[in-house]
Amino acid sequence: MKVILLKDVKAQGKKGDIVEVSDGYARNYLFPNNLAKAATATAVNSIKISKEAEIRRRQIEHDEAVELCKKLAGLTVTVKIKTGANGKLFGALNSASVSDALKAEYGVELDKKKIVIAEPIKALGRYTLTVKPFAEVSGKLNVNVVAAE
């Protein structure tokens, strides 16, 4: 019997896969536990359509991420932060303050989780940070850390 998996099933496949299982396994385990449904022509067609839509959506997100990286490559964001003696920061520069400064200065919204700070920034100066807006896409962002009045 062919079934479409609704959730990941160990030793059978991932969600959305069409697999061949025994009739008893499907009727006694997969169907009652809502792990699968029968692979009718309508269900198979809807799975194909949803997979194609997911591929298109991911491609659009990828293209937007590449455009964002190109846009960020030429920008230098100025982050004002409180400092102590000798230009040392109170604490360290975090990605949230970089994201807020980017939005305030250029109007570009970037989630703080997508900004990678390799080493803690604890002094004033210019730094280059890595931005990862999508899985395989990364870019550079120049940051100028200055003292706040």
pLDDT in tens, 100-135: 999 999 999 999 999 999 998 888 899 999 999 998
The number of helices, as runs of H, and strands, as runs of E, in the chain is 3, 9
Residue by residue, DSSP assigns 72-140 as: HHT-EEEEEE-B-GGGEEEEEE-HHHHHHHHHHHH-----GGGEE-SS-EEESEEEEEEEEEETTEEEE
Return the pLDDT at 115.
Answer: 93
Return the pLDDT at 82.
Answer: 87
Return the pLDDT at 9.
Answer: 93
Q: Are strands 121-123 and 88-93 parallel, antiparallel or unpaired?
A: antiparallel
Instruction: Compute the distance between CA of residue 38 and CA of residue 16 in angstroms, rounded to an integer.
Output: 12
Please give the CATH number for the structural domain made up of 65-147: 3.10.430.100
| Under-50 pLDDT residues of the chain | none
| Domain segments of the chain as ranges | 2-59, 65-147
Reduced to 3 states (helix: H, G, I; strand: E, B; else coil), residue 98 is helix
What CA–CA distances, in Å, run from 70 to 58, 67, 98, 131?
Answer: 19, 5, 18, 11
Return the pLDDT at 38.
Answer: 94
- Specify the CATH number for 2-59; select among 3.40.5.10, 3.30.1330.40, 1.10.3720.10, 3.40.50.150: 3.40.5.10
